């Protein structure tokens, strides 16, 4: 049985560079985003395609784009969401403007995504997520003051 897309919305959010110099930059997320965005734009006629990368992927812009994408869909629409960037051990996506010392307050909680998913009307949702909780041997840990980076070097850990 072939899958037919009648109308689609996509929101691609990808961050390589972070405003806070204490959050390690990534490589490849923006390049992947542009390729994915081009694939969807070229392959699905009439797609409503939103792309947020680096500086444009601020917390407020991400929330607005997600709301527009999810809440603008009708039951027969297909919604495709993609995210590449850091995630935290506290279940947050880390936007470009996040602060390492306040990832709890400046990150996007997965619970917020769940709220939006419950409210949207489209029956078909594809979520593509490539997030890094341990970039280059570094993890983000919650503390009373916020989040701290800690190196895994010498911990015996061999990656993800």
Q: Sheet holding 48-53: strands in order across?
A: 48-53, 8-14, 78-86, 124-132
Q: Is the dihedral of CA 34, 36, 39, 44 positive or negative?
A: negative
Half-sphere exposure of 18 (CA within 13 A, CB side): 22
Give yes or no for residue 25 having a pLDDT over 70: yes
pLDDT tens sequence across 29-86: 888 888 888 898 898 888 999 999 999 999 999 999 999 998 888 888 889 999 999 9
SS3 6: coil
Give yes or no for residue 157 having a pLDDT over 50: no
Count of all residues that appear for the chain in the document: 160
Domain residue ranges of the chain, discontinuous segments joined by +? 8-151
Higher pLDDT, 3 or 138: 3
Give yes or no for residue 2 having a pLDDT over 90: no
Contact between 47 and 96 under an 8 Å Cβ cutoff? The reply is no
The mean pLDDT value for 94-99 works out to: 96
Higher pLDDT, 134 or 16: 16
Give yes or no for residue 155 having a pLDDT over 70: no
Say what the pTM is. 0.77
Give yes or no for residue 144 having a pLDDT over 80: no
Dihedral, CA atoms, 65, 67, 71, 76, nearest 10 degrees?
A: 50
User: C-alpha distances in angstroms, 109 versus 5, 62, 88, 112, 147?
Assistant: 30, 12, 9, 5, 15
The mean pLDDT value for 12-25 works out to: 94
- At residue 3 the predicted structure's pLDDT band, cuts being 50, 70 and 90, is low
Task: State the CATH architecture for 8-151.
Answer: 3-Layer(aba) Sandwich (3.40)
Give yes or no for residue 95 having a pLDDT over 70: yes
């Amino acid at each position: 049985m072939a899958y037919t897309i009648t109308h689609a919305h996509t929101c691609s959010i990808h961050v390589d560079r972070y405003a806070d110099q204490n959050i390690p930059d990534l490589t490849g997320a923006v390049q992947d985003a542009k390729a994915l965005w081009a694939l969807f734009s070229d392959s699905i006629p009439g797609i409503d395609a939103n792309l947020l990368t680096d500086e444009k992927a601020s917390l407020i812009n991400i929330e607005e784009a997600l709301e527009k994408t999810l809440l603008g869909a009708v039951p027969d629409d297909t919604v495709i969401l993609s995210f590449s960037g850091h995630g935290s051990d506290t279940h947050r996506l880390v936007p470009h403007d996040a602060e390492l010392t306040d990832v709890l307050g400046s990150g996007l909680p997965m619970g917020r995504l769940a709220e939006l998913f419950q409210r949207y009307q489209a029956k078909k949702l594809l979520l593509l997520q490539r997030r890094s909780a341990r970039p280059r041997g570094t993890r983000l840990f919650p503390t009373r003051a916020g989040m701290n980076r800690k190196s895994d070097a010498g911990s015996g850990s061999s990656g993800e």
